[in-house]
Amino acid sequence: MKKTQQWKLQWGHEIAKSRYPNVFTMKNGGCLVRARVTDPMTGKLKEIKKLLPLATAVEASAWLEEQKKKAKTLPDPEAPKQTPRFAAYAASVLERMVDRGVGTDEHLDRWKYTLIHLIEGIYAEDDEHKSGKPVVPGLGDLNLSEIRIKTVEDWKTKVAKLIKQGRYAPNTANGWLSILKTILKSGRREYELSHNAIEDVEQFDTSKHETHTEEDPNALTREQVFKFLTLMRELYPQHYAMTMFGFATGLRGTNISPIRIKGPKADINWETGVCYVRRGAGRLGSIYNRTKQGTRYRITLPPSLLEVLRWHVTNQIPEGGRDSEYLFASEVGTPRLAVVLTKPFAEVSRQMGLPFNLSVHGMRRTYNDMALATGTNNLVTRSISGHLTEKMQEEYTSVWAPLQERAIGSIMDLMAGRAVVPQPMLPILRAVG
């Protein structure tokens, strides 16, 4: 059967050849066009076939020639391609990671937290409700193909200003940049983009950034700890027990938040003092059944600390959290994230006249200093705080001045021929109230 006869059956109209190649007129009006061209990308024949019900033969011929020209033309490598918005694509990359089981819970949680900054932007510190414009605009509304090297460099410049202001550490910003690079690299490969938006984009310089200086040690001395805890109880009694717990054990805030006191798998035994450290809380509130270091262990709390925790349970859990299984429950029964301590810590630091604001992580550093001062064995210190190695413990420890003075004084006695009398460590800091 000839093609024209096949088309008659297919379209239900009588058709006839026109004086234009590959253009057929239809009895009831309009035209049918059909042609084959070689695809320059694959070298294979590609068919063009379309019914143009309102076109004349001249118009149909012109349309067909235009389509043949487009089909034979190689795509412009510089022309922007149809790609999804960065927000949608970044979310899909994270979703694939979850589906494939890539990364730990902490790693995925860091991705979720970072995507908020990359997609929505970074707002001023006093703009808690994000009512104004972000100081660093997000990339969420841009198509992947629109993100170029200049886009990334402009983003870096704005973030660098926040680093200079002390809002963020360069290591934190490098974490964001690393995830941004991963997303753009994946998008370039998946959509075969010709440009490389992350080519030669360097990380933020960390060589001049001092994590903890003499002016900002992010740790308290023995006298400062006592005053800090006293002010916390006076000003923020609802957060006093969590603060005491952090200083006393050196646990990460993420491990303190999800401690349970009810249910079949309660983490604290009030009779024996045993406390199980086996879960973590993400920065966005997700709970995962593992610690950051991947271990699950237990510590034994002394009666003095248990007394503080009982006081908290009796007097400080808000009404909405009374039925919650969590030790540090919020008004709605969810675990309080350690980040709730950030503003109270800043206010107490200000009232104490500290030259720095103690961060939540500063409790962990202070714990190591106090353990050293009380002569606690290093192995015991790590068994409580969860530090896996002695090297990591050392990085979190600063030696208090009285211990250094005593050590140097003992050496001076030896050099002078005087007898050195062993002295006890500094007295253990007692709980306030």
Which amino acid, residue 21? Answer: P
**Could you give the C-alpha distances from 415 to 280, 321, 410, 419, in angstroms and in order?**
51, 62, 9, 10
Q: Within a 10 A sphere around the Cβ of 255, how many other Cβ atoms? A: 22
Which amino acid, residue 268? Answer: I
Q: Are 272 and 300 in contact (CB under 8 A)?
A: yes
Q: What is the pLDDT of residue 411?
A: 59
DSSP-assigned states of every residue in 140-161:
TTSBGGG--HHHHHHHHHHHHH
CA torsion through residues 323, 327, 331, 337, sign? negative
DSSP-assigned states of every residue in 199-260:
TT-PPPP-TT--SS-SS--S---HHHHHHHHHHHHHH-HHHHHHHHHHHHH---HHHHTT-B
Q: What is the pLDDT of residue 429?
A: 40
What residue spans of 44-148 are helical by DSSP H? 57-72, 86-99, 105-120
Q: What is the pLDDT of residue 428?
A: 43
Q: Burial code of 331-343, b = ≥16 C-beta within 10 A, e = fewer? A: eeebbbbbebbee
H or E element in which residue 34 lies: strand 31-38
The 3-state DSSP composition of the chain as helix, strand, coil percent (nearest 5) reads: 45, 10, 45
Local structure of residue 291 (DSSP, 8 states)? -
SS3 260: strand
pLDDT in tens, the chain (433 residues): 455 555 554 544 567 888 899 998 887 788 889 999 988 877 788 899 988 888 888 999 999 999 988 888 876 655 556 889 999 999 999 999 988 888 777 788 889 889 999 999 999 988 778 888 999 999 999 999 999 999 999 999 999 999 988 888 899 999 999 999 999 999 999 988 888 898 889 999 888 766 655 556 789 988 898 999 999 999 999 999 999 999 888 888 889 999 999 988 899 999 988 888 888 887 777 787 776 666 777 888 888 999 999 999 999 999 988 899 999 999 999 999 999 999 999 999 999 999 999 999 899 988 888 888 777 777 777 888 776 666 666 565 565 556 555 666 665 565 566 776 665 555 444 433 3
Q: What is the pLDDT of residue 228?
A: 94
